[in-house]
């Protein structure tokens, strides 16, 4: 079962910015234990561009599709046998990243 694991940061109250070594170490473990499928950090929401081509002509607009104080800062994809395993790892991930984590199954 694959889960999208989103790292949620908060513009008003951001997490600490020295987490990379801890995250790398955590990633090594995910790989070693067979849960790791994919991971990536995302650039600032300011770097996002939204494209809407539903109306015949593509409209490009600057910025993320939703303005909010919370935003997506990075993602993992994990392969685990069930939600309990994913939740346990996510609890560790939240500590490691010093950020909130959302776990959602793929369909």
Partner 1 sequence: MSGPDIQDAITSAHRDEWARVIASLTKRFGDLDIAEEAAAEAFATAVEKWPADGVPPNPGGWLTTTANRKAIDRLRRESKRDDKHKEALVLTDDDPPEPLGAIEDERLRLIFTCCHPALAMETRMALTLRMVGGLTVPEIARAFLVQESAMGQRITRAKAKIKAARIPYRVPAAEDLPARVSGVLAVLFLVFNEGYLATGADTDPVRHDLTAEAIRLTRLIRALLPNDGEVAGLLALMLLTEARRTARISASGELITLGEQNRGAWDAALIAEGHRLVRERLAAGVAPGRYQILAAINAVHTSARDVRDTDWSQILALYDQLARLDSSAIVLLNRAIAVAELDGPEVALADVDRLEEKLAGYHAYHAARADLLRRQGRSEESRAAYDKAIELAGNTAETAYLTRRRDQLG
Residues that bind partner 1 (CB under 8 A): 1, 81-84, 87, 103-105, 107
Closer CB to partner 1, residue 11 or residue 88?
88
In angstroms, what is the minimal distance from the CB of 12 to partner 1?
26
CA–CA distance, 16 with 9 (Å, rounded to integer): 10
Chain length of the chain: 107
From the CB of residue 82, how many other CB atoms can be counted at a distance below 10 Å? 10
In angstroms, what is the minimal distance from the CB of 4 to partner 1?
11
Closer CB to partner 1, residue 95 or residue 104?
104
In angstroms, what is the minimal distance from the CB of 83 to partner 1?
5
Place of tokens 């995302």: 42
CA–CA distance, 3 with 105 (Å, rounded to integer): 4
Closer CB to partner 1, residue 4 or residue 72?
4
DSSP H stretches of helix in 33-67? none
């Amino acid at each position: 079962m694959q889960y999208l694991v989103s790292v949620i940061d908060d513009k008003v109250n951001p997490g600490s910015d020295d987490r990379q070594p801890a995250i790398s170490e955590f990633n090594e473990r995910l790989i070693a234990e067979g849960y790791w499928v994919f991971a990536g950090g995302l650039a600032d929401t300011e770097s996002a561009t939204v494209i809407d081509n539903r109306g015949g002509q593509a409209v490009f607009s600057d910025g993320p599709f939703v303005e909010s104080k919370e935003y997506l800062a990075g993602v993992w994809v994990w392969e685990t046998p069930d939600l309990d395993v994913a939740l346990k790892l996510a609890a560790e991930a939240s500590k490691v990243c010093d950020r909130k984590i959302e776990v959602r199954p793929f369909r």
